[in-house]
Structures are given as C-alpha cells and as structure tokens.
A and B are shown apart, each in its own frame.
Chain A
Amino acid sequence: MSLIELKNVSKIYRLGNQEIPALTNVSLTFDEGEFAVLAGPSGSGKTTALNLIGCLDRPTSGEVIVSNLTLGTASSKQLADFRLHHIGFIFQSYNLIPVLTAAENAEFTLMLQKVPKLKRRKIVCQLFADLGIDGLEDRRPADLSGGQQQRVAIARAMAANPHVILADEPTANLDSHTAEELLALMRQLNQEKGTTFIFSSHDDRVISQAQRVIRLEDGRLADDSKESQ
C-alpha cells in the first residue's frame, strides 16, 4: 500500500467569479522512503500539489489519501493532528518564528506535541549536531544566515520524526553551494532515517539530485520518471 495516493485530483481556486484551475486530474502515488521532486515552472501546480499532500488544503474533486487518512472526509482538527504527528514542512523562506531562538524554533512541533522540555532539547541538540549547526541553538533567526536558517527549518521538520517531509522550493533563496549542501543533507537523512522527502523545485541542478522527478505543466501531470538506485 502506498504512503500517499492522489486519485484524479483537481483543485480549482475561485477569484471572484473567475475559476482558476491549479491542478487537473492528477493521479500519483508515493511509497515510503522516496526522495521525489515535483518539477515545473511557476504556476504549474507544484505548491498546490504539496499543499494537498501536506493536508493543508482539500481537493475540489478526486481523492487524496495520506497514511490511510482521506482528506475529503477528515475534519480540520483531524488534519491538524495528522500534520503534527506525520508531516514535516520546509518552506522556501524558512518561516522561522522570529521571537524564538534556533533551538526553540526546532522544538516547536515537539512543544505542540507536549513533549517535555528536557527531552525535546536533547532531540534538537542531536539534530543540530547532525545538521552541522550545533552551537547556534541560542541564536535568533535574524542572527543566522539563509543556509543556517534553512538547516534550523529542516531540524524543525525532522524533530517530530515524521513519515513525510514536504519542502516547497527549499533552496530557492540560497546560493548554489549552500543549496547543494542542503540537498545532500536531505538526501542523507532520507537514506539514513528512511524519511520520505517530497519537494518542489524549478531549478535543474536541484531536480537532477532527485531519485524521482514528477513534472507538472499547467496543473497537469506531464512526466513521472523514477531513476534506478
């Protein structure tokens, strides 16, 4: 059984009287441990697809099933709970909480899960060491570089040990060297911990690192290629 399944999924946004189709009849499946990229130009539907997989939005038609949870029938509370325990997010502009330190940001999902302070600090310190940002625990996001902030965001996504990590253009705001480093790091985490990574990108250098490339064009599935490992 697949970890994630999209069956004939369409998503239409309404702007006044206008209907804007963001995804049209997309069917996809993802297995555990995949390292996949949703590729395509701006407006191709990558973020919409990630939002649906991440239980942040509901499809207009079709079915999205993530770890046996059907989005269409789940309540908002169930979806929030599901995201908290099963999905990690990495955003293009890091989206760290500016008033919290790097360690507190990384602990955030654990805090929502009501994990005791000492235990979550231990988890985060280990992750910071794994991600090469140990020593930066007490710094505020404003005092970190873009690459360091994105590593903190990865730590936040990894801290609760989710099944899937979704990353929306995670390297778009980084220089090519830092971007490559981060991709290598994500790949390493994927291989070592078996965490499924699905990210979106339109950068060919990033796309070339992925194990599986799903191309979207105008909201439709254009190509789905899986390289042999």
Chain B
Amino acid sequence: MDHLFLAWKNLWRNRRRTIITLAAIAFSIMLVQAAHNLSYGVYAGMVDSGVRAGSGHIAVYRQNYLESRDETLHFPDRNLITEITAIAGVEEVLPRLYIPALAQSSRESRGVMVIGVDPQRERRINPFLKELNKNSMVRATDSRDAVIGVRLLDELQIKPGQKFVVTAQHQDGKLHSELLRVRGVIKSGMKDIDGSLIMIGRERAGLLTGSSGSVHELAIILTNSDDKETVLGQVSTLIEAHPGIEAVNWERAMPNLANAIKLDYASQKFIFLIILLIVTIGVINTLLMSVMERMREFGVILALGSKPMTLRIMIMTEALMLGLLAAAIGTLLGSLATWYLVSTGIDLAAFVPETLEFGGVVFDPIMRASWDPAWMVKIAGYVTGLTLLASLYPAIKAGRITPVEGMRHH
C-alpha cells in the first residue's frame, strides 16, 4: 500500500509530463480500439451480406464439390433441412442448386448461372432479393418464374414478364431446356451477379438437370455468428449419417472474402503495431527522464536503507499506474468513439463508387463500427503490459546505482 502511495505521488511529480504521456497512451488506445471496432463492424457487415447471399455461416456440400464445382456432385436433402433447422441458433437453412446454363431470348443468348432455390426461405435471407416486392419474386419451387440480373436482362434484350429459355446438360448427357418468364430483376451492383444470375424454384431447376430433390448446397444462416463453431460441430455430427457429405464454415466456402478480410486486417495490425511501438518509445523516454532526474533522490533512498529491488518495484509500480490510468481513459475515449461510429458511422459515399466490391461482396459506403468489448479489454491490457515492459530498463538502471553514486548526481 505504501509503495502504491509513493508511486502515485511520484507519478504526479511532473504533472505536465505525466499528462502528456498519459494523453499519448490513451489516445493511441482510443485510436486502435475505434479503428478495430470500425473494421470489426465493416467486416461483420460484409460477412453477413456475404453469407446471406453466398454459402451461409456454415454450408453443407457433397465432398469435393467445393474444390471442383462439379454440378454432378449434388445430394438428396431428405430430412436434413428440417433436422438442421431444429438445431439451436440456426435461423434458416437455404437449399440451393447451382447449374451452369445457356439463356436464350428471341434476340440474344448468354452463358448464365441458374440457382435453384426455395423462394420463400431465400427471400427472407438473401440481400439480393431485399428490394423485390412479393409480386416480383418466384412464386413456387416448381413455377416457371425467374428472377434475373439487371445486366443480363439488358443483354438478353427482354423485359419483366417476357419469356426466355435456359438450356443445361441433363444428367443423362442430353441437353434439356426450360421455358421461363422474367418475374423480377436483381440489381446487386456486382458485375458477375447482375450479368449472369438467374434464380428459379429448386424443383424447376431440378428438372433441368434431372436432379430433383437434390441440392448442391445447404447454406445455414445463424442467428448469432459467434455460435458458428458450436453449430458446425452439431451439423457435422448430424451429417455423419449421410456419408460423402461435409459441413464447412464460411471461411472455407468463401475463401475470397475470408482472405480479403485477413489481408486487410493484417495491414491494419501492422499500423496498430507501429502506433504502439511509438507509444512505447515515448513511455520509455518519459520514465527514463523521470529516473535520471531522481538519481540523487534514489541515492538518498538507498542510503536510508531501501533495497535496490524496492526502488525497481517503485518505478515499475509508477509505470503500471500510468498504464492502468491510460488504459481506463483510453478505453473510455475508445468507447465514445465506437459509440459514434456505431450510431452514425462514416459516410464514404462521396469517395467510393456505389458498386465497390470487396472480397466478392458489395462494400457499404457507410462504414459502421460494431462493439468488440473483449478485444478492447485485450488491447488496453496489452498497452498496460507494454508500459510495464517499458519501465524495465529505467527500473534496472535505477536499481544498479549505489547510494554514493546516486548522491553525487546533481
């Protein structure tokens, strides 16, 4: 208690210097916490959008489908959708068939990707279908309704309500065609989606390839993405009864998005590291100055009977207090900054194109943060640890002087 008291008094010996150092550490904590929370929010938004339009938080495939995208690797879903939906934390299970095909209108033809879906389930989840009203959506799994990308609509030179034909290879090796009618138009902002996507009912899609009752993918959407690994374990256990089927997380199912986030965050971490390094050098400088100024006093303290270790502990306690105080202030400021970034965000609409893609998803020009309290505590702890580490050299230096040497200092 006495050491704490003494360290606290020493900390405020040079009030201005302590405040400047405290401000520098606290500001860096705030900066790193707010920047991380902003990235966390942006990444979470991208992942959410990506998993809802793509593989889901967890996806179930036939083995090797993910690597080969071979359309013959489908599997019957039997009761899997019902069983997986019953797992706690699962919001929805989206069955999908992916069929490369040729779309033909009376004027043009284009290579397309036909996705056979359960329209009711898909509409609730898929962000591409968000803006479609009920009358623009595929009505039933076996209907001839189609929702197609806006660019594809232009290229085929057709309009909503008009008919077109898709042709794909049936599993018997022959070509099979289906007549479809444009019911709705998707405007995702992504070139590939808008230029090649056709979404139809899964039963109609099954007729194209002769794979009725089968799916290529079961995209599992979770209520809370943090439950991903737990649910993945449960799904994996469940599908053990279905040999040749595997469950994977979204990072494996959508490596482009996962890698883009990893790369972006790695560059941020590098910047965080530089910020923390600069702060650490500043703290070492402050503590060293504080120690060098007090050499005579340390000599007196040693002369009075203090042990070198007591001096070292005192200096390290000062650093620990500085670190803890800065961590508390920095976290408070970081929380305020995060609160602003969560509620208001940063609008980059004036600086980035509306359809900017990042890792295969559309980048939302309004960047919003998300709270990551565990990480905020971790970074505050790291900085406190760094401050303590920064005090090691000054503490060792102070502990090495003899009383006589110390008292000769002026």
Q: Which residues of A contact B (CB under 8 A)?
A: 51, 54, 56-57, 76-77, 80-85, 87, 89, 91, 95, 97-100, 108-109, 111-114, 117, 156
Q: A54-B303, A57-B404 are in contact. Are A97 and B310 (CB under 8 A)?
A: no
Rounded to whole angstroms, the CA-CA distance of A98 and B300 in the bound complex is 12
Asked if A99 contacts B300 (CB within 8 A), the reply is no
Q: A99-B13, A100-B9, A111-B2 are in contact. Are A80 and B302 (CB under 8 A)?
A: yes
Supply 6 further A-B pairs (C-beta < 8 A) apart from A56-B404, A99-B9, A113-B305.
Answer: A76-B308, A84-B306, A108-B301, A108-B304, A109-B305, A112-B305
CB distance from A5 to the nearest CB of B (A): 21
The winner among B296, B300, B402 for most chain A CB atoms within 10 A is: B300
**Quick one: CB contact mask for B235-279 with A, threshold 8 Å, 1 for yes?**
000000000000000000000000000000000000000000000
Q: Which residues of B contact A (CB under 8 A)?
A: 2, 6, 9-10, 12-13, 296-297, 300-308, 310, 402-404, 407
Asked if B300 contacts A80 (CB within 8 A), the reply is no
For residue B307, which residues in chain A have a CB less than 8 angstroms away from its CB? 77, 80-81
For residue A81, which residues in chain B have a CB less than 8 angstroms away from its CB? 305, 307
Chain B residue at minimal CB-CB distance from A168: B407
The winner among A83, A89, A97 for most chain B CB atoms within 10 A is: A97
Asked if B305 contacts A99 (CB within 8 A), the reply is no
Rounded to whole angstroms, the CA-CA distance of A56 and B299 in the bound complex is 10
Rounded to whole angstroms, the CA-CA distance of A113 and B306 in the bound complex is 9
Asked if A95 contacts B305 (CB within 8 A), the reply is no
Rounded to whole angstroms, the CA-CA distance of A16 and B68 in the bound complex is 78
Asked if A51 contacts B305 (CB within 8 A), the reply is no
CB distance from A36 to the nearest CB of B (A): 20
Asked if B300 contacts A91 (CB within 8 A), the reply is yes
CB distance from A33 to the nearest CB of B (A): 22
For residue A97, which residues in chain B have a CB less than 8 angstroms away from its CB? 297, 300-301
Could you name 22 residue pairs across A and B whose Cβ atoms are closer than 8 Å?
A51-B404, A54-B303, A56-B303, A56-B402, A56-B403, A57-B402, A80-B302, A80-B305, A80-B306, A80-B307, A81-B305, A83-B304, A84-B304, A89-B300, A95-B297, A97-B300, A97-B301, A111-B6, A112-B305, A113-B305, A114-B2, A117-B2
Rounded to whole angstroms, the CA-CA distance of A197 and B354 in the bound complex is 87
For residue B296, which residues in chain A have a CB less than 8 angstroms away from its CB? 95
CB distance from B407 to the nearest CB of A (A): 8
Asked if B304 contacts A112 (CB within 8 A), the reply is yes
For residue B308, which residues in chain A have a CB less than 8 angstroms away from its CB? 76, 80
Asked if A89 contacts B9 (CB within 8 A), the reply is no
Asked if B13 contacts A109 (CB within 8 A), the reply is no
CB distance from A214 to the nearest CB of B (A): 21
For residue B10, which residues in chain A have a CB less than 8 angstroms away from its CB? 99
Chain B residue at minimal CB-CB distance from A115: B2
Asked if A98 contacts B13 (CB within 8 A), the reply is yes
